[in-house]
Structure 1
């Protein structure tokens, strides 16, 4: 029986913009820039402020699609070693989010854990989250951090700081060829 939260029923959103934002954050960490580049942060804030309601929704859906794609890759990688992706990803994610109390509100952490668990079990993060109502402003930073941390986890597993980004851009290129 198919779940109403199956990804086939979910909008993909603006995956291209979402991966550009996450890639920018990853490069900020690995590219020799300061960990908090105020100029980069200002550009991202200006861009997101310029989005209309539909653009913002598309970006949110795109970030959720990224998380789903990342967790799908992680699930397959862990299954090859007879390991459970939830067991290896979620505790690290939660612990890392808890270490960021200035930016990540504690009440958003269970939602982010649930979102990653949903994606790790093959459900659409967008549809899973939708059952609890609209996104809140407090969840935006946590959502971006979650996508970043899952991408960084992939990069560490692959021992390549660009692997997660390339995973998505390759998938986008293949979908454009169809």
Structure 2
């Protein structure tokens, strides 16, 4: 029986824009900047201002697609080592979220963990979240940060700071060619 949260039923969204935002945040982390680069932040703010309501929805869906794709990669990596992706990823992710109270207010941590669990079990994170109503403003930064944390975990596992970005870019390129 098919689930209403099956990824085949989910909109993909603007994965390219979501990847650009995640990659920008990763570079800020790796460049050891405690504050975002003002020039980079201005570019991101200008980009966000041009989106409009449909663009914001596409960016949200694109970010959820990234979370799904990152969790799919992590699930396959865990299976190669006979590990459970939920057991391996979620406790560390939640612990990290709890250490970042300005980004992850306590009330959004269960939602972000739920998105990761949904993706880790093969469900669409945006369709799973959609069961509970519209996204809230309080969930916007945590959603982006969740994607960044997953990408950073993949980069650490692969010992390559560009791996998570390249993984998605190559998938987008392969999709464009077919």
Contact kept, 8 Å, 2:112 with 2:142, in 1: the verdict is yes
Q: Where in structure 1 are there 5+ consecutive unaligned residues?
A: none
Provide the rounded CA distance (Å) in 2 between the counterparts of 1:64 and 1:120. Answer: 12
Provide the rounded CA distance (Å) in 1 between the counterparts of 2:58 and 2:151. Answer: 20
SS of match in other structure, 1:35: coil
In the alignment, what sits opposite 1:127? 127
Q: Trace 1:87-98 onto structure 2 (pairs within 5 A).
A: 87-98=87-98
Q: CA deviation at 1:33?
A: 5.5
In the alignment, what sits opposite 1:79? 79
In the alignment, what sits opposite 2:110? 110
Contact kept, 8 Å, 2:103 with 2:145, in 1: the verdict is no
Q: Where in structure 2 are there 5+ consecutive unaligned residues?
A: none
Is 1:37 aligned to 2:36, yes or no? yes
RMSD of equivalent CA atoms: 1.0
Q: CA deviation at 1:12?
A: 0.2
Count of residues in Structure 1 that have an aligned counterpart in Structure 2 = 177
Q: Which runs of 4+ in 1 moved over 2 A?
A: 40-43
TM-score, length-scaled by structure 2: 0.96
Q: CA deviation at 1:58?
A: 0.1
Provide the rounded CA distance (Å) in 2 between the counterparts of 1:112 and 1:104. Answer: 9
| Deviation sequence 1:3-37 (CA, Å, 0-9, x none) | 1100000000000000011011111112x362322
In the alignment, what sits opposite 1:12? 12
TM-score, length-scaled by structure 1: 0.96
Provide the rounded CA distance (Å) in 2 between the counterparts of 1:77 and 1:165. Answer: 17
